[in-house]
Amino acid sequence: MTQAFMAVLARELRLALRRRSEWAQPLVFYAVVATLFALGAAPNAPWLKVAAPSILWVGALLAALLSLDRVFRGDHEDGTLEQLFLSPQPVSLLVAGKLFAQWLVIGLPLTLLAPVLGLGLGMEPNVILVLMLSLLLGMPALILTAGFASALVVGLPRTGVLLPVLVLPLVSPAVVFGAGAVRAAQSGLPAEAPLYFLGAILVLCLCGVPLAAAAALKNALD
Amino acid sequence: MTAILSFQNLAIARGDHVLLRGLSGSVSGGEILHIRGGNGVGKTSLLEVLSGLRSPEQGAVTRRLETDACHWIGHRNALNPALTPFENLRFWCALHDLPADNVRGALREFELQRVADQACRQLSAGQKRRCALARLAVAQRPLWFLDEPLSALDEGGVRHWLGLLQAHQQRGGAAIVTSHQPLPGSLTGLRSWELS
């Protein structure tokens, strides 16, 4: 069982190495969005610092969403999904492997880029630490949620605007607590409480999403 | 001979549309069931129901084997275009808890050794089909489900596949095959079934 999980993980990482744009695109997008906000503001505008937590959080969210609608699409189109369902492995485990790889390829680089952009938006070091912690907890939850949504729409010929419409309401709690933690740190308040909430959301996603996504994929085959 | 797969009173639907109803039958070891019928009559859906990928609208399928004891080669090849044939088959082996030792041999058997390490997107349709069918040679399993196995195959490929199928049949294996092309009458254990 762990062998199959590792095989899925290795396959996804190999695919990411072959298709560089897949992980480079979100990073470039994130950097450009954060920079454009800074360029759009008046020099030294005080509101930029106030808005920085939500800019960095929403930017990371949108960047992660860019390529997530393709997580299961290729496997559905080329027939790999059928082989996954006919294998003796639990499909939820294979789904978990795929989404873990997505986090490694997209989520983790975005989390590591955020402090650099935070510095550019004038964040203090202690605030940047909380920003990283919040993204470390929040990014996997975002990717799991978006993975579930992309499993839901995998059988549809064209998803277009459907995926964001499905995902954005589902991830709003993560954004509220994630940006909230950074804001709390900014105003010198303890940031633990929102971070704990993010942790709880992550655990909920970890337990529920692989099973729900596997069921959604099964539905796409029917 | 006891049936390894039997089905009673199956109704098969695609969406809300019922394609076939009242199907009953069985397949035993050493038997090759050739399902025929025009486009859109529901051959693929029937095969999916028999293999357990799709649930029937009505009726029941009894398989006297574990799901793991079947080969499924759908009309899509289950090959990722960015991976090589070798990598694709090795991943398939890992999924099915099989050792990957036989992969090279199976690819050679299907004359794919030259392209075994090229990305699948560079392969021709026939080469991809050969690569999908090479799974049959990687592991021996008692029941095969093959959906249009001959599409895009050249003469040599068809001949080789027929040899593999005949050897499988002689070992007592069963196969359920959908195909528009006629299978040669010299194949022993062949039974044709026309859907309408």
- Tens-digit pLDDT profile for residues B60-110: 888 887 656 889 998 899 999 999 999 999 999 999 888 888 899 999 988
H or E element that contains B22: strand B17-28
Closest CA–CA distance from residue A186 to any residue of chain B (Å): 45
Place of tokens 């040899």: B163
The residue ranking higher by pLDDT, A1 or B131, is B131
Residue % of chain A over a pLDDT of 70: 100
- Secondary structure of residue A59 in the 3-state scheme: helix
Q: Which amino acid is at B153?
A: L
Residue B71's closest chain A neighbor by CA? A86
Tell me how far the alpha carbon of residue B42 is from its chain's centroid.
Answer: 16
pLDDT-derived band at B151 (thresholds 50, 70, 90) equals confident
CA distance A79 to B171: 29
The answer to whether the CB of A217 falls within 8 A of the CB of A72 is yes
Tokens of B126: 């026939």
Task: Inform me whether the pLDDT recorded for A124 exceeds 80.
Answer: yes
Least CB-CB distance to B53: which of A3, A6, A86?
Answer: A86
Flag if B97 and A14 touch (Cβ within 8 Å): no
Task: Inform me whether the pLDDT recorded for B185 exceeds 80.
Answer: no
Q: What is the pLDDT of residue A175?
A: 93
B51 at the A interface (CB within 8 A)?
yes
Q: What is the pLDDT of residue B188?
A: 83
Q: What is the pLDDT of residue A174?
A: 94
CA distance A184 to A173: 16
Task: Inform me whether the pLDDT recorded for A22 exceeds 90.
Answer: no
Give the closest residue to A99 by CA, choosing from A163, A9, A174, A175.
A9
Predicted ipTM of the assembly:
0.88
Q: Which amino acid is at A203?
A: V
**Residues of A near B (CB-CB distance < 8 A)?**
3-4, 6-7, 11, 14-15, 18-19, 74-75, 77-80, 82-89, 94, 221-222
**What would the mean pLDDT of A175-203 be, rounded to a whole number?**
94
Residues A50-69 pLDDT 10s: 889 999 999 999 999 887 88
Number of domains comprising chain B: 1
Tell me how far the alpha carbon of residue B14 is from its chain's centroid.
Answer: 20
Residue % of chain B over a pLDDT of 70: 98
Q: What is the pLDDT of residue A29?
A: 95
Task: Inform me whether the pLDDT recorded for B173 exceeds 70.
Answer: yes
**What would the mean pLDDT of B149-168 be, rounded to a whole number?**
90
The residue ranking higher by pLDDT, A103 or A70, is A103
Least CB-CB distance to A3: which of B53, B79, B97?
Answer: B97
Tokens of B172: 């007592």
Residues B131-149 pLDDT 10s: 999 999 998 899 999 999 9
Across A79-83, A195-199, B28-32, the highest mean pLDDT is recorded for A195-199
Q: What is the pLDDT of residue B1?
A: 58
Closest CA–CA distance from residue B53 to any residue of chain A (Å): 7
Q: What is the pLDDT of residue B40?
A: 84
Q: How many CB atoms lie within 10 A of CB B169?
A: 20
Exposure of A94 by Cβ count < 10 A (0-12 exposed, 13-18 middle, 19+ buried)?
Answer: buried
Least CB-CB distance to A78: which of B70, B79, B96?
Answer: B79
Residues belonging to chain A: 222
**What would the mean pLDDT of A98-115 be, rounded to a whole number?**
95
The CATH number of the domain where B164 resides is what? 3.40.50.300
Q: Which amino acid is at B147?
A: D
Q: What is the pLDDT of residue B14?
A: 84
Mean pLDDT across chain A:
91
The answer to whether the CB of A127 falls within 8 A of the CB of A134 is no
Q: What is the pLDDT of residue A99?
A: 96
Kind of pairing, strands B17-28 and B3-14? antiparallel
Q: What is the pLDDT of residue B68?
A: 66
Which letter, b or e, does each residue of B27-53 get, where b requires 16 or more Cβ atoms within 10 Å of its Cβ?
bbbbbbbbbbbeeebbbbbbbbbbbeb
Tokens of A170: 């589902």
Give the closest residue to A204 by CA, choosing from A156, A181, A170, A176.
A170
The answer to whether the CB of A198 falls within 8 A of the CB of A144 is no
In chain A, what are the domain boundaries?
2-221
